[in-house]
Amino acid sequence: MVKKLRFLLILCFILHSFLSFSQHFALGIDALHGAYKQFKPSIEGTVGNHFSVLLNYESGIFAQGISSDLISQSIVYELNGKAIMPSIRYYPFTKRRIAPKGLSVELYYRHFWFTETYNGDDFSVSRDPLFFFNPVQANVNTKGTATNVGLAIAYKFTLGPIVVEPLLGYGTYNGEWDSPNERNKIDPFFTEKNDLVLASRIEIKVGFYFPQIKRKNEIPFAKNKIVTSNETLDSNTSPANEIKLYIYRPKIPYEQQTNYDVKINDSLIVNIKSGTFEVITFNQAGEYIISAKVGGEKSIKAPLEAGKTYYLRCGVRAGLFTERPKFKFVKPVVGKTEIGYLKIE
């Protein structure tokens, strides 16, 4: 158990390094198969508004066979191994770039490494009439690999940072065993069931999702501040080395109401909704890239000076084939007036 936990921690560290481009990632474990001696952790990172990438690991006992008589039962067959499964998901109804939730469709590739053991009646000689009186015992121990490519449908429920996700999947399955092997001695009742078990997926994942861990000083924000009174809006200047940026979106009836993420230097700042605003505080002056994407992408360069307050009005511009975000810096008197009618995001 300690080795498995150590492996999970190392896996999380390595995968999070690769998923540093993702704004959020989710960590889960299959609780359903945990009761059947299988260890199946996974990590998922968002890519854009609707996609995510995952890496699953599996280890443990994938199948067992029991032989019984009137006196006792014993385990005569066991398929033990591990697997790595990368996959990609599409969330058709997810608009925000957060750890995805709701319905998803997943395309996956699973690669197994197996050890198969059998200590029961030798099936290769079981048809011999003398077998009933002189049963022959087989002792099979062989290794092999297998692949499984398939599609899965999942639905992710979230309660705060907690994730619960039932999943169903099925696909093609092909296996290759080391040569020579003695699999003909194994009762086919056990081996034939494996094809269905290894070609399908039935999981109930339980886990958590986390925001991206930013590199130190990647963006020199002091903190995000929530405005709680109109007194804060009455000043056009900030303390000597402080910069304030109000990001807001007026509620315009004829404009598209699509929500979208606003980024600064490729880091997610806020998911802006119609009729909301948020104020960001910087502790370092400089030129920043403000960007967003709604079908089309929009980005602007914003040279921010120490001690000043800026007002960025957001919206959506309708195009011929797709809509695009739009930005405009407005004068403080205009920004304060328009924000006065909005709610805090």
CB half-sphere exposure, 288, CA atoms < 13 A? 24
* Tens of each residue's pLDDT in the chain, 345 residues: 555 556 556 655 555 555 555 556 788 999 888 777 789 999 888 776 688 889 999 999 988 888 766 566 788 899 899 999 999 999 887 654 455 778 999 999 999 999 989 988 888 775 555 555 556 788 888 899 999 999 999 998 877 678 899 999 999 988 888 877 788 888 888 887 787 788 899 999 998 876 554 443 345 554 444 333 343 444 555 566 788 899 998 887 766 677 888 888 878 888 888 888 888 888 888 888 898 887 778 888 899 998 899 999 998 887 656 678 889 999 999 998 888 877 655
Do 36 and 169 share a domain, yes or no? yes
Task: Output the pLDDT for position 227.
Answer: 38
The residue type at 326: K
Q: Containing domain of residue 11, as a range? A: 2-211
DSSP secondary structure, 104-119, as one string:
EEEEEEEEEEEEEEE-
The rounded distance, in Å, linking the Cα atoms of 233 and 311 is: 11
| Whole-structure pTM value | 0.58
226 in any annotated domain: yes
Task: Output the pLDDT for position 311.
Answer: 95
Do 339 and 235 share a domain, yes or no? yes
Do 182 and 265 share a domain, yes or no? no
Peptide bond into 180 cis (omega under 30): yes
The rounded distance, in Å, linking the Cα atoms of 290 and 329 is: 11
The residue type at 223: K
CATH code, 261: 2.60.40
Task: Output the pLDDT for position 96.
Answer: 47
Tokens of 72: 């006792």
153 in any annotated domain: yes
Task: Output the pLDDT for position 85.
Answer: 94
Task: Output the pLDDT for position 127.
Answer: 55
Q: Which of 177, 211, 245 is the last residue of a domain?
A: 211
Q: Which of 185, 211, 237 is the last residue of a domain?
A: 211
Do 95 and 200 share a domain, yes or no? yes
135 in any annotated domain: yes
